[in-house]
Structure 1
């Protein structure tokens, strides 16, 4: 039996693209804000080696959103409560990396199992369930947009307020504590800010793939730069391109938004790795050439 060939017209269709773009204008704005703020906070997530914690927080955020969906509450508020509760638990109980990973390992299956339980009891539209896991570009209403932008602004302001002590603590926690930086308080504040932005990410890209906007852009930026200003700016730019570009492609497609966002984000990371490899290779060749000339002289 012959397998039918893939028809790209079933994947992309740009008919009535302008009208469709107007329908998802809220999602484009929310994605742009999320990409920028997520890229900025992702730099600290990478410096503090907390990518695993992001996934743990997202699972509890998913459980909170699923509970809100089941009981008829606000999905944004449900995901927000779940994410902040998980972030607070990790921040308070996981001061050391070993403790933190253990707590995240316990919270992840609990949150995922709880979320699946709530979704299995939900008798509404199946698209609503699926969107919590993989994102949904048409799910951002005007009231939700206000909440999402407000949360993102709070996270951005919070980051700016604690930027210097947070950066010091992220790069050298022992020295920061010795200099009088309240590292425990800084860590807890950071976890709460991360929980807030994870709740926003779950609403846009889904619980399973939040790492694509909170980790991958920062990881890509750190491959091509080490500057204290260049890395956050690059991470924010990469996050913006991934989120907005993915949503703009998803408008013309039949797939959920998450595959587009994750593909763009991964593509940027691969390009950055290649750029870093070529730069490091050229640097090694230059050093080897100088050493050879020094020996010959």
Structure 2
């Protein structure tokens, strides 16, 4: 790694930093619901079809963000309609993952453009976020966060105890589909920063870490956002000084945060037993 002329390089990733901050905020919030609803595996399935949609858009010269969103929405609707139960959802995800990955690899093999564009869809790119993509990602961020605010209470209720929520009149089926659509948009955003293969590092790991140390629902959400922001922004800044793609840095920071949270949780448990 080299930090020579680092200040001169920072303007090159201004858009990436802004997009990363938006993704960290969205990923930190929505990740809590993903963990509570046991949908970590589903995120991976959505990511693979999102990758396929982005690869197809790259092949035909269309907007990659649009292709990624369309692929994510198709996967989300399939999972939301057919995978009402966790067992069904996991089996359908297992079918979608290799299909989406295979399609994406086929489209990339047919693409004759720059190899960096191919690699970036899988592992993320540091300076690939232009003004148009940044605007699209910020719009998606507002859309996702706005949707989560609107359905926060029933979604939290249905996530904690779906049986009681259904008995109280909460339309858990429609709510599940709505959440899958919102999750699809978040996944499509993450593809642009960390790539399809490592999207879990921003949508799952920060939330999993926060659930280990958060004492209240609000503190857990705040910690999840802080962890996600630390991983993505720290990863971008480190990648700027190194020669590796952004993803190894993001995933390493995210994993270290998770390990630290597990240690903190263990120490708290020991202290409680001593008292």
Q: How far apart, in 1, do the equivalents of 2:162 and 2:12 lie?
A: 47
Q: Report the secondary structure of 1:208's partner residue.
A: coil
1:192 aligns with 2:181: yes
Offset, 1:55: 0.2
Deviations 1:41-74 (A, max 9, x none): 0000000000000000000000000000001000
TM superposition score normalised by structure 1: 0.92
Q: How far apart, in 1, do the equivalents of 2:73 and 2:10 lie?
A: 32
Offset, 1:225: 1.6
Offset, 1:226: 3.9
Q: How far apart, in 2, do the equivalents of 1:124 and 1:102 lie?
A: 35
Offset, 1:18: 1.3
5 Å matches for 1:1-297?
12-286=1-275
Q: Report the secondary structure of 1:209's partner residue.
A: coil
Higher radius of gyration, 1 or 2: 1
Q: How far apart, in 2, do the equivalents of 1:234 and 1:263 lie?
A: 18
TM superposition score normalised by structure 2: 0.99
Q: How far apart, in 1, do the equivalents of 2:176 and 2:222 lie?
A: 22
Deviations 1:67-114 (A, max 9, x none): 000010000000010001101110111001111011101000000000
Q: How far apart, in 1, do the equivalents of 2:18 and 2:214 lie?
A: 28
Q: How far apart, in 2, do the equivalents of 1:259 and 1:17 lie?
A: 20
Q: How far apart, in 1, do the equivalents of 2:45 and 2:267 lie?
A: 35
Q: Which runs of 5+ in 1 are unaligned?
A: 1-11, 287-297
* Paired positions, count: 275
Offset, 1:190: 0.5
Q: Report the secondary structure of 2:217's partner residue.
A: coil
Q: Report the secondary structure of 2:62's partner residue.
A: coil
Deviations 1:226-281 (A, max 9, x none): 41111111101111111111101111110000000001100100000000000001
Q: Report the secondary structure of 2:250's partner residue.
A: helix
Give the structure 2 partner of residue 293 of structure 1.
none
Give the structure 2 partner of residue 4 of structure 1.
none
What is the root-mean-square deviation of aligned Cα atoms in Å?
A: 0.6
Q: Which runs of 5+ in 2 are unaligned?
A: none
In the TM superposition, structure 1's runs of 4+ consecutive aligned residues that sit over 4 Å from their partners are none
